[in-house]
Every structure is written in C-alpha cells, then in structure tokens.
Structure 1
C-alpha cells in the first residue's frame, strides 16, 4: 500500500468548541420560547415592540419572524430578562438591500444591581444573628405598662422591647440592631461581599425556573464583565419618545414561516491529522500560461481566491454539524462566509487592516442608545432557510415570495445590555445585523 493513504490519515478524535449550536425540531424540546419561524411572543404581552419595528425599511411592509431566542445571561446580566428577535422581508424586490432584515433586543430589569428584591432571603440570613434572640422575652413587657393598650401603643412597645428601630423599613428583622441606617435604601452590608450574587440569581429564577433545560439555560457561559461605555448616544430610546404606533394585527402580515422549537449542544468537530508528504514525493511548481502574458495573477483572481478561502472555511465548519440552524457565542467571533463583502471587511481583522475585533468595539457600530460597543451574540446559518421554507411553495406573496438569499445573518448586541432603569419596565432596542448574501455567479 502507498505510504500516503488518505483513509489512514484521519484522526477520529473530537474537539469541543465554545460555540453553542442550535438545532430545530417540530416537537417541543424544553424551551417553549426559543424558536424559528411562527409568530413572535413578547416578554410582556402588554408591551409589544413599536409598530415601525414590524416593517421592512425598503418597502415599509410587515416582515416575517425568522428567529426568537430566549437570551437570559445570568453570568453577565443577572438583573435583566432578555429576548432576541430577527425579522426578514420575504419580498423579492427587497432581497439584498439594507433594512430588509432587522434585529431587536427586548430587555427588562427584574432587580437593580446591589439592591436585590427578594425579602425572605434577608430574613434567613439574619436568623442566626444572636440579636433577635431576646424577642421571646417581649410578652412580659405589656405587664409593665398595662395602660398603654388604651392608647393603641402596644405594637410600638413590643417593637421597642425587641430593640428594633420603629422607623426601619424591615422592623424586627434585626437590621437596625446590627447598626443599619433606618433611612437608607436596603442594600447588602459591607462585610457581606458575596451576598449580591445569590440574591441576583434568585431574581433571575423568576423568569427561567420553568425552563430547566432550555436553550437559554445552556447559554449560561461565564464571560468577562461587559466593557465600560465608550461612545456617544445618538438615538432616543423608544420608551422616551412618547406614544408609539401600535404593533400591527396578525392579519397585516404574510403567512408566517413554519415554526420549529430549538435545542442546543456545544459544537464538536473531528480533528483530522495534518497529512505529511512522503519522502518519495516531489512537488513541482505549476507552469504559467505565457500566451499574451495572461499567466500573471490578476487582481480579480486574488479577489476570487480570497472569497473562495472564506467560503471553503465556512462550508467545512458547518459540514461537521450539518443540521445546525444557528451558532451562539456571546462575545465570541462569528463564522464568516466571505472576507471581501461589506460585513467581511468589517469583522475580519486581516481585511480591516487589523484595526477591529468582534469584541473590542469598532467592528460593529456602537449602540446608538447608550454608546457602548456592540458584541457578537448569535448568527443564523443556511440550513435555517431550508427548514423555514419547507412547504412554502405557492404560499404568501406569489411571484414576490422568491425565497431567502442570505448566506448568514450576524446579530450584534449592545455590550452593556442597556435597558430602562425602572424595575419591570420593558425596553426595546434595534440592534446591528450584518447580512452576508449568497454569492451570485
């Protein structure tokens, strides 16, 4: 047998990356929120997005939902409830035009940093405190002041006898006895440094407790703290601009894409060993075509070779897990299908003079609402198209419903996850979306 055997050069070992792959299924898996296609749902059904978010920026007609993702990130934003949306226009004239695909983030604060909401947890922490121990002695006190009950002062007498401050926000909890300021907002004491972490987690469980194995739960990846805001806000938030146009009724939209629920697994790839060239094999340079001097490498050839290099890498990476419909890696790096289009030049360091990275700000436009750098979070890949368009022949817009022509949709979000500071208020933000379209011959 020839010493250079391609079959024997494949190493069957596998490697796991930090990328979560999303897989679509018609059956409900665990997460009932995350899905491809179908109709969108909102964190708060009484606060849908502004009405103009429904429309394509090219034709101003309602778009269809491509993706809704339950995007809670407890390791990064423990006080925030998050959801991500991608909408696309199905009309043929809008294909390949900016604004025909739009992306949104909905965020609602469930507590404020440093001010955890749950009260029972505070009480549990104070139970071991020896200070509240004298409370059982309280009953004898009324005997010393029997007339006090005539003036309704019994409650005050018992609270004072328990050594608690009657002006405290949590009488009898022992906070005042521990030296807390009765007029200060409740916050963790200085020595209890680790306290905010469990409190924040308990606030987040209100939104995720019913999704024990959801896509969102699998996204709980520890990441560096968000970068500080740097930049200038140039756009008003929807909640600050007053009355918004209502979200259109379902009858205003074309027929939705087929709905699929999502499950997630970390990306695994086989690791083929690098083939070695046997000693008895020589490599000779290819002869140049000298006819008319056309054998010289032209700029066009260089461009096409770069395009092919990116697409080959893109295709080979997807081929390891061909059923994937999305790739998720918060603050990670997207997989590019081209280095030479507008998006590729933005996000690929080699083709942007090494001035940008996907996590350092500058590669994507900064958040228009707070000025913070944007970071990569999720992208749709081509298999999502075949899933969404399954059975859509003759459905919707007739000749105008030409199908999707994108190669990948890259979703960049505000690195600070900016949102209204008021607890319970839902904030809507339009985020950056980079679309790499299929190459046309």
Structure 2
C-alpha cells in the first residue's frame, strides 16, 4: 500500500492525512467566498484583475471561472489578504493546449511585517482617556485612517484565516455571493468590528481546519524575475463586462474535511494452502501479469484513482507546501514533479521543478489542485449550452496550482496586487 504522511489514526480502519479535501455544496455552509463555477468576486471591487487575465491564450476568448478560493494564510503571511482563482476556456478546440487554463493570485497587505494588524477602534479610544484637553474625537479618527490606509480600505479589510474561511464583510446566506460586491461604506462604527477582528478570535471554519503551523522559511530566489508586475505596468486592459462571457458553470460552494482513508485488511492464507502462478491459455505460463498490468502509466493512474476512491466526492485537495497527487508520471507535468522523473522532489525548500515566480524569482510551492469530480459538478445541468464548436466537456485529469513561496505583493498597505501563477494541467489519457 502506498505510504501516506499520516498525522493521526482515527481508529484501526481509518488513517487521517494532512490533506484537506473540498466538497461541493449547492447552499452556503460556512464560507461565502470559496466556490466552484459561478461568477468571480474580487477582494476590492475597484481593482479587478488586468483584463488580459480574462482571455484564453489559445483563442483569445473570455474564459469561465472554475474555482475561487479564500486563501488567507495567517501562520505564513499574517499581513496579507489572499484569494486564488482558476479560469478555463470552455471551447473544445482549446482543450489540451497550453494557456487554455490559467491560475491567478490576488494579494493585499493589511499591515506591514512586524507591526500589529490595524485596530482603529483602539487608536480612537486612547486620546479620549486624557481628561485635560477637550479635543473632539474626529481629528483622531482621521489620524487613525491616515496610519492604516483610506477609510474605505479599513472597512473592507478581512482578518480571516486561510482558504474557505468566512468573510465577515460578505453577504449573508441567501444573497448572491457571485455578484460584484457592494461599494464599501465609509469607515465608521459599523466598520469597526471588521477592522478590529483578530486572527486569533476567528470561528473554526473550512480555513481554520488547515494545519499550517510550520514557520515560513526565508526562501531564496531560485530564478530571476522576468515579468513586470501589473500594478507597475501602467494602464491595463479593462476586465470584460459580464455580458462578454459565455454562460458560467454551475455554482457550488465548498465544505471540507481532512482526508480519511480506510485501511484494507490483509487476508491471511492458511498454512496448508499453497499458491501457484496463474497461466494464460496458449502462453506457456511465461506471462508476468504484474509487469503487463503495471506499466508506468498504469501505476500512476492506479495510485491516483485509488487515492481518490477513498473519498470519491472530493473536488479539490489542499495542502499548502505539500505534494500534489499526480495522475501520470510520463506526461510533461509528471516528468517535472514526480521525484523518480524529475531532478528532485516538490518540497517547501525547493528541488521541485515548478517554474519560479516570474515577478520576484522565488521558488513556487504547491497549494491546491482540482480533481475530476469537479468536472461533474461544474457541468451539472449544462446540456444545451452552445459555444459554436465548443462546450463539449472538459478533458483534464487534474489542475495543479503552484504559488509564489514568498507571496509577493505590493508593499503599500491597501494596494491590491494581481499575479498569474503556475497551472500544471494533466489531461485525460487518450488511448
């Protein structure tokens, strides 16, 4: 049986791993941000992605959202607000071509490293305790706003934990979470609870279940920055209007549990029973069934499908700085990432062969991957949606999302940075 990095044993028959599995649900469970399909939403409605990010690199047509994931990592990047996106082209001619599936990360700093997170409420109260000056509180409120960014930023900052966590500023269940967010209201009493929330006082949600307690190593740049950041590139092509996109995939929210796998019992053979090799008729008994059955391709796919079969309803697998589950060792992605076929292993300290971040040169690390059951959920009820030659079904086996290990972003508090990250796509094997 394949070795698993087990954290704990649930009982004699089950083993729990450090991989968090995502499951699709039609109704909101806890997280109103993370979802499959539907329309994307942005951390800041005034800063959508660069318009070029909306288009397939093959046909230059607008793509559809496959996944939006709340990606805050307070144990690694406590000063950063993060969100992850995967888009894919639904047109059949673009299947299996590089650039038809693209991955993005949005990051915004809510504080500078080494400084506490913004707490405007406390800044207002301290001067009021002094009895001598009869100074009005309004000037002090403006001072707090100048220290921690614009008032509109303060009202929209989320101090939530990592992916799939609940956003206090998001709409309640029943509202449409995929519509563009409502404009932020000016900072005031109503915005104080959101801005003063501490990451240590969050409710346990999908995100809080992620065991991300290892310290963030100072990753040295394993490559050279080759791409200009969108925020420094000047005027960007605008994000297309919603009417420019094809009909979206069906929307599903996400819930999660840690991966639990059953341990098959090992059959015992009575002492008085002997085992003889099987012989195929006309083969002379020289057929090695194991070698015939377990080719390099079969071995990878068997491990992939067997692992997924323990929890067949999973749509994604999440383990920041973990190791992705490969569906093939012989395709381009398998040769890059599998330790037997690449120069090293996909680890937190390098050695893997994900391309480095083009914006800062840091080593990329694995964060999340979509698995085949996501296709079933996304395409549910999609019959009859025509795109000319296309929309005939997705053909990928898994989409592996590699992110910058330094989570590079603008240093200015409140400025949102967009980064295109690495999408390693393993397509279905063709016979």
CA RMSD of aligned residues (A): 3.4
Q: What is aligned with 1:193?
A: none
SS in 2 for 1:204: coil
Q: Does the alignment pair 1:230 with 2:221?
A: yes
1:308 and 2:277 are equivalent in the alignment? no
Structure 2 partner of 1:167: none
Question: 1:227-262 CA deviation, whole Å, 9 max, x = no partner?
Answer: 423132111100010000000111111110000011
Distance in 1 (alpha carbons) for counterparts of 2:365 and 2:126: 38
| TM-score using structure 1 length | 0.74
Change (3 A) 1:342 1:278: farther
Cα deviation for residue 209 of structure 1 reads 4.2
* Partner SS state of residue 435, structure 1: strand
Partner of 1:145: none
- TM-score normalised over the length of structure 2: 0.76
Deviations 1:22-77 (A, max 9, x none): 11111111111100000110000110000110011111111100000011111111
Q: How does 1:331-370 map to 2 (within 5 A)?
A: 331-353=321-343, 355-361=344-350, 362-370=352-360
Contact 2:21 2:318 in 1 (8 A): yes
Provide the secondary structure at the position in 1 that maps to 2:301.
helix
Gaps of 5+ in 2: 1-10, 136-142, 149-156, 171-202
Distance in structure 2 (CA, Å) of the matches to 1:77 and 1:84: 15
Shift of residue 303 of structure 1?
Answer: 10
Please say if 1:246 is aligned against 2:238: yes
**Aligned partners of 1:377 and 1:413 also within 8 Å:** yes
1:153-168 to 2 correspondences below 5 Å = none
Distance 2:211 2:73 in 1: 6
| In structure 2, distance between residues paired with 1:392 and 1:65 | 14
1:38-437 paired onto structure 2 within 5 Å: 38-116=38-116, 117-118=118-119, 204-205=159-160, 208-209=167-168, 212-219=203-210, 221-231=212-222, 232-284=224-276, 305-353=295-343, 355-361=344-350, 362-437=352-427
- CA distance in 2 between counterparts of 1:360 and 1:328 reads 18
Native 8 Å contact 1:414 1:431 kept in 2: yes
Runs of 5+ in structure 1 lacking a partner?
1-10, 127-131, 140-153, 156-169, 171-184, 187-201
- For residues 297 and 56 of structure 2, the distance between their equivalents in structure 1, rounded to whole angstroms, comes to 29
TM-superposed deviation, 1:421: 0.2
Instruction: Quote how far apart the aligned CAs of 1:323 are.
Output: 0.7
**Shift, 1:204, TM fit:** 2.1
1:352, 1:302 → 2: CA distance?
Answer: 25
How far the C-alpha of 1:290 sits from its partner, in A, is 10
Closer, same or farther in 2 for the Cα pair 1:276/1:230, shift >3 Å? farther
Counterpart in 1 of 2:181? none
Q: Is the 8 A contact 1:255 1:396 kept in 2?
A: no
Q: Which has the larger radius of gyration?
A: 1
Distance, in Å, in 1 between the alignment partners of 2:339 and 2:54 is: 34
Pairwise CA distance, 1:398: 4.0
Q: Which residue of structure 2 aligns with residue 439 of structure 1? A: 429
